[in-house]
A and B are shown apart, each in its own frame.
Chain A
Amino acid sequence: MKKFKNFEDVVCPFCGTLCDDLKIILEDNKIIEVDNACAIGTAKFFSSNVSEHRYTKPMMRNNDKLEKVTWDEALNKAAELLANAKRPLSYGWSSTECDAQRKAVELMEICGGVLDNTASVCHGPSLLAIQDVGCPTSTLGEYKNRADLVLFWGSNPVHAHPRHMSRYSDFIRGYFRVDGHLDRTIIVVDPRTTHTAQMADMHIRLNPGEDYELFNAIRAMCRGVELDVKEVAGVPIKQIKELVEILKSCKFGVLFFGLGLTMSKGKHRNVDAGISLIRELNEHTKFNLTPMRGHYNVSGANIVFTWTTGYPYSIDFSRDYPRYNPGEFSAVDILKRNDFDVTLIVASDPASNFPKDAVINMLKKPLISVEPHKTPTSEMADIILPPAIAGIECEGTAYRMDKVPIRLRKVKNAPEDCMADYEIIEKLIEKVKELKGE
C-alpha cells in the first residue's frame, strides 16, 4: 500500500525571495509533486530524490578515484587536514541554514583559518557600500503594500527571482495598491532588454559598465544642477530628466538592485552611488532599497557571521581574533595568491563559479566538499561529506533578502545516513579539538 503525504505552506530553499506558500506531495519518501514554486524551486525539491546525481555515502579519493568510505574515516581524515593546516580556507555557507553557519564560525576560529561566504562573489560589494554610506531599507511586505514605483537596476527578477514580481513587487495587490500591477510604475535600468525590461513601463538602456556615471548624473540633477553634457552612459539628458521627475514625484519608491551593479566596472562604488541617490530622493519622497540576494540564505550567512564576529564575510581568524578585509581575505583573492593550504567548501560549487585562475590554484591543494549533489567541485574533491538538504530534509532558519528570518521545514527524510550540515560541522569541530589537544 502506497503512503501519500501532503505538506502545505512549505518554504522554498532556493533564492532570497524565500516563497513560503509551496505545496509538496510525497509518495513514501519521494517527492512526486511540487505546487506553487517556480521552475527552479521545483527542480530543487525534485533533486532531493535519490538519483545518480546524489551522494548518499561519504567518499574519499584513493589513487585518483573516489571510493565510498565510512563517516568516521572521512571525518577523521578531514579533521586531520584541517587541524594540521596553517592557512585553511572555508567557503560557501549560503545554501544552508543558520545553525550550520554558526558552527562554521566556530570551526574556522579553532582552525585559525579564513572564512568566506558566497556574498564575496555576489552582493559582497553591496555590503561594502552599505558599510560606507548606510542603507535605507524596509521589508518586502511594506513594498507590497505601499510602493507605487519599483526600480530594478541591474537586476532581472524574471530569471533570477522568478516569483519576486508576483509576490512582492509588481502584480500582487497591496493594502494601498489595490489594483496591483496597474497601481505601480515599473522602471528597469539594464544594458539588455531583459524579460523584466520587456514588462516594464520604462526601460533605460544604458551602456554596459557606466552605471556609476548615470547614478551621479541623476544625483546632480535631483539637486537641480544643469549638466554640461547632452547624454550620460548613452542615455539622452531628456530621458534622464523624465526619470528624475518620476523618481521625485512617486509616493513610495523602492530600488531593487542586482549583480548588474556589483559585478560591473565600479562594483561596490556603483552601489555606493545608488544608495546615495536613494538618500537624496528621501529629501523629496519616501524611497528605500533592497539588494536582490541570490542564495536563499546568503543574507543569513552575513547576519550570522556578523553577530558572531562583527563582520559579514571575508573573515580571517589566523590571529585568534576576527579580522575583515575583502580583497585580502576573500576567497577568490586568497586562491589567486595561493595563500592557503586546504579548502573546506560547504554548499557551494566554486569550481563552476570562480574564474579560471582561482580554480586552477584551488585544485592544487586538498579539497573537502560538503555537498549533496555531484558538482564539478565535489567531483574534484579529496573528501566528500554528503549532507541532508536544509529546508527539505532538515529544519533550520533562513533569512530572506530583506533580513526577515523564516523557519525552514522538513518534508522528507535524508537518504541513508546523510547528516545535517550542522551535525557534520559539529563532528568536525569535536575531532579537530581533539587533535589540537583543546
Chain B
Amino acid sequence: MKFFLTTGRTIDQGVALEGQKLGRENIKACAICEFDKDDFAKLDCMIGTPVKVTTKFGEVVVYSQISEQGPHPGIIFIPMGPWANAVINSETYGTGMPSYKGTEAEVEVVKSGRILTALEIIKSYK
C-alpha cells in the first residue's frame, strides 16, 4: 500500500534519547510505524507485526502500530531516529534542511524479520 511518510517527535522518543539510545527503550519508542486505524485494518495483520517501509531512498523494517494521534488516513508516522532516517529524502534543495516530512512510501507486512537496533543500522553504513 502507498502512503505519505512523515516523521517527528514523540514524548516516548524524547524519553528514550536521554541516555538510552542504544537500549531497548529506543527501539520501542522509535522503531515503529503508526498507521491510521482504517488503513491498518486493510493491512490485515496483528498490532506489532513488523512492516517493511520502502521509499526511493531506502527501506527499513519496523513494528506496526495504530496511531493514537489519528485519524490521519493515507499518512504513516515514524518517530525521528535512525529508522526514519534510513528512508527519508536527504535532499535539502539548497536550504540545509533535508526533507524529513513528506516522502512517498510503500508498506508491506513482513511475517518475520528482526528489527535492527540503532547501532546496528549505523554500523551497516560503515
Chains A and B touch each other in the complex, with CB atoms below 8 Å apart: yes
User: Which residue on B lies nearest to A265, using beta carbons?
Assistant: B102
How many positions in chain B have a CB within 8 Å of any CB in the partner chain?
A: 53
Asked if A352 and B82 sit within 8 Å, CB to CB, the answer is yes
Asked if A40 and B15 sit within 8 Å, CB to CB, the answer is yes
- Choose from B11, B23, B100 the contact partner of A159 (Cβ within 8 Å): B11
Q: Given A39-B11, A374-B21: A193 and B70 within 8 A (CB)?
A: yes
26 A-B residue pairs with CB within 8 Å: A40-B18, A120-B96, A121-B97, A156-B8, A159-B14, A160-B8, A160-B9, A192-B67, A192-B72, A193-B70, A193-B71, A197-B69, A259-B101, A262-B97, A263-B102, A267-B93, A327-B94, A327-B95, A330-B92, A332-B97, A333-B92, A351-B122, A355-B85, A356-B57, A374-B22, A376-B119
**Please, which residues of chain B bring their CB within 8 A of the CB of A376?**
21-22, 82, 118-119, 121-122
Is A131 engaged at the interface, CB distance under 8 Å to the other chain? no
A335 smallest CB distance to B (angstroms): 9
Q: Given A352-B118, A375-B21: A194 and B69 within 8 A (CB)?
A: yes
Which of A43-51, A73-81, A282-290, A398-406 contacts its partner?
A43-51
Q: Given A40-B14, A263-B100: A332 and B21 within 8 A (CB)?
A: no
A38 smallest CB distance to B (angstroms): 8
- Choose from B7, B87, B99, B122 the contact partner of A352 (Cβ within 8 Å): B122
User: Which residue on B lies nearest to A210, using beta carbons?
Assistant: B102
Is B48 engaged at the interface, CB distance under 8 Å to the other chain? no
B74 smallest CB distance to A (angstroms): 8
User: Which residue on A lies nearest to B79, using beta carbons?
Assistant: A159
Max chain A C-beta neighbours (<10 A), residue from B4, B18, B85, B89: B18
Which of A24-32, A99-107, A165-173, A357-365 contacts its partner?
A357-365
Is A264 engaged at the interface, CB distance under 8 Å to the other chain? yes
Question: Contact mask B31-54 → A, CB, 8 Å, 1/0?
Answer: 000000000000000000000000
The answer for the CA separation of A116 and B92 in the assembled complex, in Å, is: 15
Instruction: Kindly state the interface size class of chain A when it binds its partner.
Output: 35 or more
> Which residues of A (307-326) have their CB < 8 Å from a CB of B?
313-314, 326
Asked if B85 and A359 sit within 8 Å, CB to CB, the answer is yes
**Please, which residues of chain A bring their CB within 8 A of the CB of B14?**
14, 39-40, 43, 159-160
- Choose from A120, A193, A263, A330 the contact partner of B69 (Cβ within 8 Å): A193
**Please, which residues of chain B bring their CB within 8 A of the CB of A363?**
122, 125-126
**Please, which residues of chain B bring their CB within 8 A of the CB of A352?**
17, 21, 81-82, 85, 118, 122
Is B109 engaged at the interface, CB distance under 8 Å to the other chain? no
> Which residues of A (294-344) have their CB < 8 Å from a CB of B?
294, 313-314, 326-328, 330-333, 336
**Please, which residues of chain A bring their CB within 8 A of the CB of B102?**
208-209, 263-265
User: Which residue on B lies nearest to A376, using beta carbons?
Assistant: B122
A129 smallest CB distance to B (angstroms): 10
A375 smallest CB distance to B (angstroms): 5
Is B88 engaged at the interface, CB distance under 8 Å to the other chain? yes
The answer for the CA separation of A375 and B85 in the assembled complex, in Å, is: 15
The answer for the CA separation of A259 and B85 in the assembled complex, in Å, is: 15
**Please, which residues of chain A bring their CB within 8 A of the CB of B9?**
156, 159-160, 259, 294
A162 smallest CB distance to B (angstroms): 6
B94 smallest CB distance to A (angstroms): 4
Q: Given A356-B125, A360-B125: A327 and B101 within 8 A (CB)?
A: no
Asked if A191 and B72 sit within 8 Å, CB to CB, the answer is yes
**Please, which residues of chain B bring their CB within 8 A of the CB of A125?**
95-97
Is A354 engaged at the interface, CB distance under 8 Å to the other chain? yes
